[in-house]
Each structure stands twice: as C-alpha cells, then as structure tokens.
Amino acid sequence: MSKPYDVETGDAVHKGHPIVVDRYTLAARINHWITAISLILLALSGMALFSPKLYFLTALFGGGQLTRAIHPWIGVVLFFSFAGLFFRFWKANLWKSEDGTWLRRIRDVLAGHEERLPELGKYNAGQKFVFWGMSALILVLICSGFVVWDQYFYAFTTIEQKRIAILVHALAAIAIICVWIVHVYAAIWVRGTIGAMTRGQVTGGWAWRHHRKWLRELVRPRPGTPAE
Amino acid sequence: MFPPAPNPPVKPVPEKFGDKDLIRKSASTITPASPRQVEVAKLIDVSKCIGCKACQAACLEWNNLHEEIGTFNGSYTNPPDLTPASLTLMRFTEWVNPETDNLEWLIRKDGCMHCEDPGCLKACPAPGAIVQYSNGIVDFVHDNCIGCGYCVKGCPFNIPRISKVDNKAYKCTLCSDRIAVGQWPACAKACPTQAIVFGTKDEMKKWADGRITDLKSRGYRNAGLYDPPGVGGTHVMYVLQHADKPEIYAGLPNNPTISPIVEIWKGATKYFGFAVIGFAAVAGVFHHLVAGPNKVSAEDEENAEKLAGGDRP
Ligand code: HEM
Ligand code: SF4
Ligand code: SF4
C-alpha cells in the first residue's frame, strides 16, 4: 500500500514525553511565511486604496505612488509562493466523506466537543475550506489584478472590462481577508497549532485530538517504508 | 458676434477662486463652499468649427506640452487619441446624412466636459488629487495623484490619461489658471470663428439658444444643446447640428452617466466590505470569549503515547 492521501513528505512521529509529531518541513514553513507576509502586505496596500479612511496606510509603503506601484508586484510574489503551497498541500486537502460528517456537526466543532466528531486526516473540512477558498480567490485576484494593472497592461482590455475587474478585485479582496481571519483565528483558538508553522511540530496529543486518522497512519508501520 | 475674449491684464490681479471655493475633493469629506460662485461654462459650437486646430495648438502652447511626432493613419484626427500631452483633440467624422444624402464633416473638439457630478472624482482614492471648484471646474492636483488610473474607470467620457513619464493623470483643466485671472481658456481665445466661447453657464445656454434657433431655421431640425443631465450637466457644452444622435460625433455618449459598476464599487462595496470584515473579526473575538480556548488535554497526550507506544521502536 502506498502513502495515505493525507500524509505529506516529512510527516513523522517521535516518541517521548510528550510525543512530538513533525507536521511541516522547513521548506514548507518558509514557503508558508513568504505567502503570509505577501498576503498581509497586499491586504494593507490594497485597503489603503480601497477606502480613504485607510489611505494613511500608504505611509507604510513610502507614499501613494509607491503603494500603487508595488501592490501588484507583491501580488505576483504571492501567486508564485502560494502555487508552491498548493502543490505541496492539494492532495491532503481532497474532500473525504468524514468531512461531510464534520460539517454537519459544526456546532460540536465550535463548542470544542472533539469527542463527538469523526476521526480526521491531516486536515479538517474547515482547513480544506481555507485551502480551496484561498486557491480560488488568489486566482481571481491575480486575473482581475492584471486587468487593472494599467502601468503595463492598459492596452489589453476595455475600460468597461477594467470597471468590472476592479469591482471583482475589491470583492475578492474582502472575501480573502475574511478567509484569512478565519484561518488566523482557528490557529489561535485551537491551542498548539501555531507551533506547526513555527517549529514545524505539534504534540502527539494535538494530533490525537484533532487529526487522529492522520496520527494513526503515521504510527502504523507501512510496508515499503523503512523503519526509523 | 459674441463679445470677444478679453486681453490679458497688464497689472497683477487677485485670483478669482482658489482652495476656499472647493465643493468636492476626492477621497475627502469637506463642507462645500457656500455660497457657490457663479457657474462658468465653455460652449463648443460644432456647426461653426472649421477644423483648423488652432485650439489644439493653443492648448499645447499654453500648457507647455509637447506631443510626440506620430504617424499618419488616414484621418485628420491627429494624434489618434487623447494623450497625457494632448488634453484636447479635434475628432473628425465623415458622416452621410441619410435624409439628404449629403456628406457632412463633423468636427468635435474632445476633452474633459467638467461634469457637475464628476465620475473621475468619485473614483479617485487619493485625497485631494481631484478637486471641483464651486464655479464647476474639475481640476487634477498632480502632487496628490498616485497614478492608479481609477479616474479613467470613473469617467463616462474616456478622458483622463496616465503619463508614462511621471505616472500621473492628465486632462483639460479648463485653463483654471487663466479663468482665475479673468481670461478665457486658451482654446477659446485662439478660435478664429468663435466656435468656442466662454462665460457663465447661463450666458452660454442663452447664446446656444440663439445658435440653435438659427440652425433650425436653416434646416437642422434636430439642432440642440449637449448638456447631459445624467452627469448633472457639464461645464463644457456642445451645440450639435444633430443633437438627437450625439454618437455620430466620434462616439459622443448619448445620455452619459457614471457607470453603475463604478457606483457599486465606490458605494455599496465599501460598506459591505467593512461590514463583513468587521463581522468576521468580532465573531472570532466573541467565539473565543464564549467557547474558550480549545486545549489539548493530558489525556489526549496519554492516548497518543499509548497509540504510538506498542508497535514502533
Ligand atoms: C494576486 C495578485 C494581485 C495583483 C496582480 C493585484 C493588482 C492590483 C492592482 C493593479 C490594483 C489597482 C491599484 C494598483 O495599481 O496598485 C489593486 C487594487 C487592490 N488590491 Fe490587488 N492585486 C493582487 C492581489 C491582491 C490581494 C491578495 C488582495 C487582498 C488581500 C488585494 C487587495 C486589493 C485591494 C483592496 C485593492 C483596492 C481596490 C479598490 O480600490 O477598491 N489584491 N490590486
Ligand atoms: S490616477 Fe491620480 S487622479 Fe486618477 S484616480 Fe488615481 S490618484 Fe486620482
Ligand atoms: S469628463 Fe471625465 S475627467 Fe472630465 S470631469 Fe467628467 S468625469 Fe471627470
């Protein structure tokens, strides 16, 4: 049998007190933080132009002209950086039947009644929603962003198309900021999660509580995988 | 004949309007100057234009702008479109009147219309980059412009152009600097046929009435004034021989308004955006207060150890 769908390169269990589980490789973490910083810078520079009340944020980027000029370039960085995450994580984010059960019991999720939830692989339906939501929105943002990137691409579209694109861009930006809030909140609420993206590790208890199926797959000796 | 354009003053004169006369300022909330100054307007009588382009040349000269040498592309319209240097452009259309089968040469002086409700200003995200004076002039303040091109999307007439040199937006100023000292716009001053005249908006409308009566008496049944109500009227108006069909004049829009997409983008979207982002953030804080942190228990750790314990070294 090959690797289960949700076990990624580098995922491993180390025995001890407590048990430590490797969740993200160093490369994945660097990739994540480049994406995170780009997204935050994009939200700040974009929101500065979105509302006069936030125009003061242009000071962070050295003024209005620079904010306008740099925003789309950060967008390009985000796109490629996120593409890296996408190819690392897409398989583990495929939809499974237990995700439907999890969603139907969303009340128990919010109340923290893990015992009433199905055993889950590396990601739960909420994390998958964040993953696919970000993927789709970044695609919409880069496409609409290119249409309104007048400095280089003015000639390729009509003014009417640019009007639609900037509206779509603003709405997609609102949506991705909301997805980002859900993402960050979940990481804070579910204690022990942030370590996964800083040190790359979580405790065995965390994995047991939230991603038991994944943990079981990791401790099960797999044929073809050399023992450590 | 309309009274000719005044000659420049020989002594310095105080400016007739300035920052204290603003009624709108992009991305800013201001109290509109009150009382308003009398509204000014430029009247362009297409039926009188001979296509000499004195206005186009005068505009370059007064504003010290230099158009690049272009290429001939089969039309007198030159350059082929407005540019950051060509703030005004004579657009030539050869139109065959289906009623008379006559070829009519329609020559329209294109440029900023100085809308009473300017879409450019509504769209602009940079505080004070676009202002409107109480006499109706819409002016771009280049020091504040960030070159985003939102004004291009906001304008119903496709007027502003972003310079590739300094990334700032340019359009006709109505020669606000000349009008401030009692002069006519440079184009109006240069026009040899008085196809362009300047005065208060009321004077211009009255003068247009006389011209329209004259045109009608000479067979132009649909002669009329172009002062589109969809943008609250404009401070640059046209007398058209065929006012029922403005589009034949090189695509002059029939009943222009600020695009509904721009209205939604600049209106509802802002409230909606702050509402949902705010809701998401508040919901997070609220959930945390009610549900408390989701902590891993000692039991969870033990279970994990038990699970990992047996079967692996
Ligand atoms: C992915 C590639 C992206 C590209 C190429 C891009 C490009 C652009 C461009 C060209 C503009 C017009 C202003 C300017 O020229 O700077 C703009 C505006 C904006 N962008 Fe982006 N962007 C991207 C991603 C994002 C992301 C991820 C966000 C949000 C987190 C975002 C939020 C915004 C906002 C809020 C505005 C202002 C919209 C308004 O004024 O209503 N952008 N973007
Ligand atoms: S290009 Fe300049 S004038 Fe036009 S909307 Fe942007 S900041 Fe305003
Ligand atoms: S014509 Fe266009 S640029 Fe001129 S005031 Fe109206 S909206 Fe602004």
Q: Which two tokens stand for residue A183?
A: 């993402």
Contact between residue B124 and residue B150 where contact means Cβ atoms under 8 Å apart: yes
Query: Does B26 share its domain with B160?
Result: yes
ipTM for the predicted complex comes to: 0.95
Measured between CB atoms, does A163 come within 8 Å of chain B?
A: yes
Query: Does B35 share its domain with B172?
Result: yes
Chain B residues touching residue A13 (CB < 8 angstroms)? 308, 312
pLDDT (tens place) for every residue of chain B, 313 residues total: 899 999 998 999 999 999 999 999 999 999 999 999 999 999 999 999 999 999 999 999 999 999 999 999 899 999 999 999 999 999 999 999 999 999 999 999 999 999 999 999 999 999 999 999 999 999 999 999 999 999 999 999 999 999 999 999 999 999 999 999 999 999 999 999 999 999 999 999 999 999 999 999 999 999 999 999 999 999 999 999 999 999 999 999 999 999 999 999 999 999 999 999 999 999 999 999 999 999 999 999 999 999 987 544 3
Contact between residue A171 and residue A50 where contact means Cβ atoms under 8 Å apart: no
Chain B residues touching residue A117 (CB < 8 angstroms)? none
Mutate which: A19, A218, A225, vs B, most B CBs within 10 A: A19
Question: pLDDT by residue (tens digit) across A143-168?
Answer: 999 999 999 999 999 999 999 999 99
Cβ within 8 Å, pair A203-B304: yes
Q: Please give the residue of chain B at the shortest CA–CA distance from A107.
A: B291
Measured between CB atoms, does B276 come within 8 Å of chain A?
A: yes
Write down the pLDDT at residue B312. Answer: 44
Out of 1.20.950.20, 1.10.30.50, 3.40.50.10490, 3.30.70.3270, which CATH number does the structure's domain A12-219 have?
Answer: 1.20.950.20
Contact between residue A128 and residue A134 where contact means Cβ atoms under 8 Å apart: no
Ligand at shortest distance from the CA of B233: 3
DSSP state of A219: H
Q: Give domain status of residue B209, yes or no.
A: no
Quote the ligand 1 centre to B75 CA distance (angstroms): 39
Distance CA B22, CA B37 (A): 10
Cβ within 8 Å, pair B300-A188: no
Query: Does B29 share its domain with B178?
Result: yes
Chain B residues touching residue A178 (CB < 8 angstroms)? 276-277, 280
Residue nearest to atom 5 of ligand 3 (CA): B114
| Number of separate domains in chain B | 2
Residue A184's alpha-carbon distances to A40, A212, B116, in angstroms, are 12, 22, 46
Q: Is the dihedral of CA B45, B49, B51, B52 positive or negative?
A: negative
Over residues A55-81, the mean pLDDT reads 98
Write down the pLDDT at residue B309. Answer: 79
Q: Give domain status of residue B5, yes or no.
A: no
Give percent of chain A above pLDDT 90: 93
Cβ within 8 Å, pair B269-A188: no
Measured between CB atoms, does B27 come within 8 Å of chain A?
A: yes
Give the residue from B185, B200, B215 where a domain finishes: B200
Cβ within 8 Å, pair B301-A18: yes
Write down the pLDDT at residue A3. Answer: 79
Contact between residue B1 and residue B194 where contact means Cβ atoms under 8 Å apart: yes
Q: Give domain status of residue B237, yes or no.
A: no
Cβ within 8 Å, pair A55-B262: no
Write down the pLDDT at residue A220. Answer: 85
Which amino acid, residue A2? S
Q: Is A172 exposed, middle or buried (0-12, 13-18, 19+ CB in 10 A)?
A: buried
Write down the pLDDT at residue A228. Answer: 44
Quote the ligand 1 centre to B207 CA distance (angstroms): 48
Write down the pLDDT at residue B105. Answer: 96
Domain that holds residue B80: 19-39+50-200
Q: Please give the residue of chain B at the shortest CA–CA distance from A205.
A: B301
Q: Give domain status of residue B205, yes or no.
A: no
Give the residue from B163, B182, B200 where a domain finishes: B200
Q: Give domain status of residue B251, yes or no.
A: no
> Where residue B132 sits, what CATH number does that domain have?
3.30.70.20
Give the residue from B169, B200, B231 where a domain finishes: B200
Q: Give domain status of residue B45, yes or no.
A: no
Measured between CB atoms, does B277 come within 8 Å of chain A?
A: yes
Cβ within 8 Å, pair B127-A55: yes
Binding pocket residue ranges, ligand 1, CB within 6 Å: A 39, 42-43, 46-47, 49-50, 68, 71-72, 75, 78-79, 138, 141-142, 145-146, 148-149, 169-170, 173, 176-177; B 125, 148
Q: Please give the residue of chain A at the shortest CA–CA distance from B155.
A: A159
Q: What contacts B164, CB < 8 A, 6 or more positions away?
A: B84
Query: Does B303 share its domain with B188?
Result: no
Write down the pLDDT at residue A222. Answer: 64
Question: pLDDT by residue (tens digit) across A78-132?
Answer: 999 999 999 999 999 999 999 999 999 999 999 999 999 999 999 999 999 999 9
